[in-house]
Chains A and B, each alone.
Chain A
Amino acid sequence: MTAKTYSLAKSRRAIQWIGVIGAFVLGLRHIMPGEASRGGSFDSFCPFGAVETLLPYILTGHTLKTTNLLNFSIMLGVLGVALVAGRAFCGWMCPLGAIQDFLAAWGRRLSGERNHMRGKASKARFPIHMPAAADKYLRYAKYLILALILVASLYAVYPPLYEFCPVRAVFGFKMTTLLWSVLITFIVTSAFVERAWCKYLCPLGALLAIFNKISPLRLVVNHARCNGCGRCDVECSMGIQDVPERLRDAECIQCLECLETCARDDSLSLKLGWK
């Protein structure tokens, strides 16, 4: 870590809280009358709404119900982050990702962790590690979900995720039985398996994963300095093993907790550029 006085983790938490509060405000606005006449529904602020409505918009000239053109601007913002820094939106800005981090921390505390020692394996019972084989194959599910949504969007009137969208369940305030089930599942799974929805289910994460391979702002390892202690692996909420060798991994959400955890100066660092 290049600067011990500066806490990346605190900055990340602050930005995550802004995202969470922003989503709650949009949720409150959602239950007030006449929201549609004030710039669009709750769904029109969702970047993934742009993906859901893209094909219908191209083919018919109309967006799906509850989405509008604002979705494309929000998605462009997310793509801007991805073009520069890969899946950093997932690690830093996504309100659902933030809630998962908070739930995992609570799960850890409730199951026996007193003080979290950065870089040291927690003694808490939760969150658990999925068996490696299941974890490996389940991670492909999000790509399948993305493909299914794109196909479904061609026949849809509402966005395909509309009825069971976890963002609506957590922040939307207009609850249905289905959304209650989604909310309870979300809370339980996030406390049991760290970033479960990012790892296995999130179609937006699936879409952004490719940018990890090409973004110019990235983590690099100095092999002459890294002694393979594995502290970074312990802190990785995405369960990436052997982090220094997998810094371009599609699963990395660029949270930079590994950089924050590394105890050797200049072992891990941030670099801008492709070479």
Chain B
Amino acid sequence: MKIHPRHYPTIILAAFVVFLLLGLLLGFSPERGGEGGGRGFLFLLEAVA
């Protein structure tokens, strides 16, 4: 499908925002203190196991 160049900026900005929001919804947001923290994927697997 051909895309008009006019729509290109909107498409890439939308892609950025949607995936950023997805990340935030998944819980990848800053904790207070601004560094470190969180439980890693291995810990998650461990917990599941």
Contacts and interface: CB of A to CB of B under 8 A. Distances in A.
Nearest to B46: A61
Interface residues of A, number: 56
A132 interface: no
A58 B41 CA distance: 5
B43 A61 contact: yes
A88 B5 contact: no
A69 B19 contact: no
A60 B11 CA distance: 37
B12 A40 contact: no
B3 interface: yes
Contact of A69 (B8, B16, B37, B42): B37
Interface stretch (A1-9, A110-118, A165-173): A1-9
Interface in B10-28: 11-13, 15-20, 22-24, 26-28
A81 B15 CA distance: 5
CB-based closest 5 A-B pairs: A80-B19, A73-B23, A36-B34, A77-B20, A61-B40
Nearest to B22: A76
A8 B9 CA distance: 8
Contact of B20 (A12, A41, A74, A272): A74
